[in-house]
């Protein structure tokens, strides 16, 4: 059984529609895929409708969060959430707030770029997102199309880097509150790519212990942005803290070079995750919309 528990569609900052993403998942030989768009459940209905025969879809999300160290500025962290009740009012309100926050912040990034003479227009970027949750990858594509940079990767390495003068932070959810909300909605919170240093500052072991104390249930260990030492460290922490271990691709379609199923989750860990989620059920791989 091949299981990939972290993917993004065009409902957020991936480039495949949910239906295309599921077809790609099946094509790559996956038996289980989780759809985890940023701060939204808007892709769940299409995923349920269009899933190919033989592919189980785990409804999920990646919640934009922050960890607040005692003596340093907040650190951006991503919290995967699976099988939560999409109608839980507190969690629904928080994702709506985060989407608003993304719009205000994206507009400020683009205004700064435009002011510096880069030909990017906020309204066009929002329109191209087609109702999807807007993120820096959308701005990156606009920069590529305007000929300012050669690739999305180059945009992230330069103008959109978190240390770029154009970067604007967003007021993401306190991760301890996010964990509590996901649990209150019957979901399974898993800390995404926790040691991916190339994305920015990462939290220390004491933060992960505090998250476990707050109700975290798993660590994403096998992720394309984790090197072998980082994976070993995370695996050790999961053992010490009694957390599930997941592996996933963090597929974003053509916005990233990583193919779907690049990393996968062990079946026993997936089964434990299923047992822990009480707010929603997976969309099974049989009786789907084949035909």
- Give least dist CB 232 to Zn ion, A: 22
List 51, 95, 136, 141, residue binding ligand AMP (CB under 6 A): 136
Helices then strands, each counted (H, E), the chain: 10, 8
Establish if 118 lies at the interface with Fe ion (CB under 5 A): no
Q: Rule CB under 5 A: say whether 94 interacts with Fe ion.
A: no
Instruction: Provide the 3-class DSSP secondary structure of residue 64.
Output: strand
95 interacts with ligand AMP by CB under 6 A: no
Q: Which residues, numbered 54-73, are part of the site for Zn ion (CB under 5 A)?
A: 62
CA dihedral 261, 50, 54, 27 (to 10 degrees): -40
State the Cα–Cα distance between residues 17 and 12, nearest whole angstrom: 10
172 binds Zn ion per the rule CB under 5 A: no
**Does 51 help bind Fe ion (rule: CB under 5 A)?**
no
Stretch that binds Fe ion, among 23-31, 86-94, 163-171, 186-194 (CB under 5 A): 186-194
Residue with tokens 């701005």: 139
Q: What is the C-alpha to C-alpha distance for residues 275 and 216, in angstroms, rounded to an integer?
A: 15
Residue nearest to ligand AMP (CB): 135
> Which residues in 236-255 contact Zn ion (CB under 5 A)?
250
Nearest to 37 by CA among 65, 57, 13, 4: 13
Other beta carbons less than 10 A from residue 171's beta carbon: 14
Contact between 223 and ligand AMP per CB under 6 A: no
Q: How many CB atoms lie within 10 A of CB 247?
A: 23
256 forms part of the interface with ligand AMP (CB under 6 A): yes
Closest-approach residue to Fe ion (CB): 78
Q: Which of 153, 215, 235, 276 binds ligand AMP (CB under 6 A)?
A: 153
CA 230 to chain centre: 19
Q: Do you know the residue count of the chain?
A: 291
b/e map 138-159, b = 16+ CB within 10 Å: bbbbbbbeeebbeebeebbeeb
- Residue 133 or 159: the one with the smaller Cβ distance to Fe ion is 133
How many residues sit close enough to Fe ion to count as binding (CB under 5 A)? 3
Is 6 among the residues that bind ligand AMP (CB under 6 A)? no
Which of 137, 194, 279, 288 forms a contact with ligand AMP (CB under 6 A)? 137
Q: How far apart are CA 8 and CA 15, in angstroms?
A: 8
Query: In the complex, which residues of this chain contact ligand AMP (CB under 6 A)?
Result: 13, 135-137, 152-153, 156, 252, 255-256
Residues near Zn ion, by CB under 5 A: 62, 250
């Amino acid at each position: 059984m091949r299981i990939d528990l972290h993917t993004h569609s065009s409902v957020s900052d991936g480039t495949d529609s949910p239906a295309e993403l599921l077809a790609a998942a099946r094509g790559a030989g996956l038996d289980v895929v989780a759809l985890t768009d940023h701060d939204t459940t808007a892709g769940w209905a299409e995923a349920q409708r269009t899933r190919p025969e033989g592919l189980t879809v785990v409804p999920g999300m990646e919640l934009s969060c922050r960890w607040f160290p005692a003596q340093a500025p907040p650190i951006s962290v991503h919290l995967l959430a699976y099988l939560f009740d999409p109608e839980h009012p507190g969690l629904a309100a928080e994702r709506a707030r985060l989407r608003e926050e993304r719009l205000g912040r994206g507009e400020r990034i683009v205004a700064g770029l435009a002011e510096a003479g880069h030909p990017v227009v906020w309204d066009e970027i929002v329109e191209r997102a087609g109702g999807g949750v807007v993120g820096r990858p959308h701005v990156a594509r606009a920069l590529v199309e305007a000929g300012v940079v050669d690739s999305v990767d180059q945009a992230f390495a330069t103008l959109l880097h978190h240390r770029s003068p154009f970067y604007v932070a967003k007021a993401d959810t306190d991760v301890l509150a996010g964990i509590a909300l996901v649990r209150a909605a019957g979901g399974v919170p898993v800390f995404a790519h926790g040691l991916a240093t190339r994305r920015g500052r990462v939290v220390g072991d004491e933060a992960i212990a505090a998250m476990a104390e707050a109700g975290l249930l798993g660590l994403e260990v096998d992720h394309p942005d984790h090197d072998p030492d980082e994976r070993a460290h995370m695996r050790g922490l999961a053992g010490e803290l009694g957390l599930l271990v997941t592996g996933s691709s963090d597929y974003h379609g053509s916005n990233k070079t990583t193919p779907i199923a690049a990393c996968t989750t062990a079946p026993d860990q997936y089964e434990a995750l299923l047992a822990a989620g009480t707010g929603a059920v997976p969309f099974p791989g049989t009786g789907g919309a084949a035909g």
